[in-house]
Amino acid sequence: MSKIKTAFFCSNCGYESMKWVGKCPSCSQWNTFVEEVLDKGNAKEHNWKDFKGEKRATKAVALQDVTVTEERRIVTKDGELNRVLGGGVVPGSIILVGGEPGIGKSTLFLQHGLMMNEIVVLYISGEESESQIKMRADRLKIKNDNFYLLTETSVQSIFQEIKKLQPQLVIVDSIQTIQSSLIDSSAGSVSQIRECAAEFQRFAKETNTPVFLIGHITKDGSIAGPKILEHMVDTVLQFEGDRHYAYRILRTLKNRFGSTSELGIYEMTGDGMREVSNPSEILITQREEQLSGSAIAASLEGMRPLLIEVQALVTQSVYGTPQRTVSGFDLRRLQLLLAVLEKRGGFLFGTKDVFVNIAGGLKVEDPSIDLAVICALLSSYEDVPLPPHVCFAGEVGLNGEIRAVNRIEQRIAEAEKLGFEKIIVSKYNKKSFDPKAYKIQVVPAGQVHEVYQFLF
């Protein structure tokens, strides 16, 4: 009998070692190595020669002889997914989708598969039975005769069925439940995830069939499994949102075929996920009376302009150390802006508790939101509501100056479309646009104290 082969794998990054080590040489994490049994003696590659014609020949080609053709994408019925993927699904691409349990990953991609009735779709589930998926499909109320289900966890059985059906799109839910008989370890282990993902990658590239892999995430929010999993795939999408909100965000973390700063917004309903085509309206609270501590920021996520509401609350600190609490905004950025207001504006925030919230459960990284945060803080500090129909777009520097932001025309156009009368921007943005081209009044400002004098 042949000797059983074992190896040690880092559960954080997938680094392989022949013996146990305390600190991973690759990612420098401690006590992450686990022992797994390997059995690659029976390894046998799948032959995809008869799948959609001839198998591609492997040979070296001179770069000047490569002919470039415009990539033909599969355009889905969902405009938000098309935007996030960069214009549609690229044939032969492998896309990894991660998200918290219960956030709606399975519902979203079951819905996408059912909507694509022009092509043959195979939905592989290792987590749910056929009757469970059928109940969910009945709730979505979408009919599709080209949609096929396969409840299987063995990768060898899956590829036998794929050869018979020859689908044009494959959805795997989830990659952590799939296992290969070539490796003698449990499903979800580092070696199983890496081997199964490599099998699907080989299938996608050799047959030019796009594959969606749905994945679990760990406690810290990263995709479960080795880090190499994210390097193997072409696109990584993160499906996120608060369970207490109806809105979900599909965000691009990696994309070889498009921008990595796009996002799609969905609303969770009883009939599945509904795309939100104009998110600015849902991110701005419709209120009857004017309240202090609220400002509207003209932000930008990828190519999409968003008007979002920034809420701030400044109160006298009861305890010795004042609190700084944020939701959807960077805490260090808030501390920087408070320091600017203290040093350049003379406002005493050292004895105040400060709370900042981005309405709607969004997480915003665009620096152009700085000016709106400062105006919301000043409004709550003075307990004076900001004038209605005014929004802000500007980054704030350490000297209190308002710096220019990119693509200011799109921000101004979005504010005008939603009925705002004034937008305050950096005076250094004046060369980037023509104020006469807009009905909205564009107010340029160079320093934070100029904005304070204008508003209060």
Distances (CA, A) of 9 to 32, 44, 153: 8, 23, 22
Does 104 carry a binding-site annotation? yes
The response to whether 103 counts as a known ligand-binding position is: yes
User: Does the annotation flag 258 for ligand binding?
Assistant: no
Tell me whether residue 86 is annotated as binding.
Answer: no
What are 444's strand-pairing partners?
Answer: 425
Q: Which residues contact 336 (CB under 8 A, 6 or more apart)?
A: 398
Cβ atoms 126, 178 nearer than 8 A:
yes
What is the DSSP code string of 239-266? EE--TTSSEEEEEEEEETTS-SS-EEEE
C-alpha distances (whole Å) from 262 to each of 28, 237, 330 are 32, 10, 19
Check whether 99 is labelled as a binding-site residue. yes
Instruction: Say how far apart CA 55 and CA 72 lie, in whole Å.
Output: 20
Tell me the β-bridge partners of 247: 267
AA letter at 292:
S
Is 322 annotated to bind a ligand? Reply is: no
Q: By three-state DSSP, how is residue 200 classified?
A: helix
Dihedral Cα 369, 373, 379, 381, nearest 10 deg: -170
- Is 293 part of any known ligand binding site? no
Distance of CA 179 to the CA centre of its chain: 27
Altogether, the residues listed in the chain come to a count of 456
CA 400 vs CA 262, 397, 444, 446: distances in Å: 30, 5, 15, 9
- Report the DSSP pairing between strands 16-17 and 33-38: unpaired
302 is in an annotated binding site: no
Q: Look at residues 415, 442, 420 and name the one whose alpha carbon lies nearest to residue 431.
A: 442
Tokens standing for residue 445 = 């400002």
| C-alpha Rg value of the chain to the nearest Å | 26
Q: How close are the terminal C-alpha atoms of the chain, in Å?
A: 85
Residue 132, number of CB atoms within 10 A of its CB = 13
Q: Is 50 helix (H, G, I), strand (E, B) or coil?
A: coil
Positions at the binding site: 99-106
Positions at the binding site for ATP: 99-106
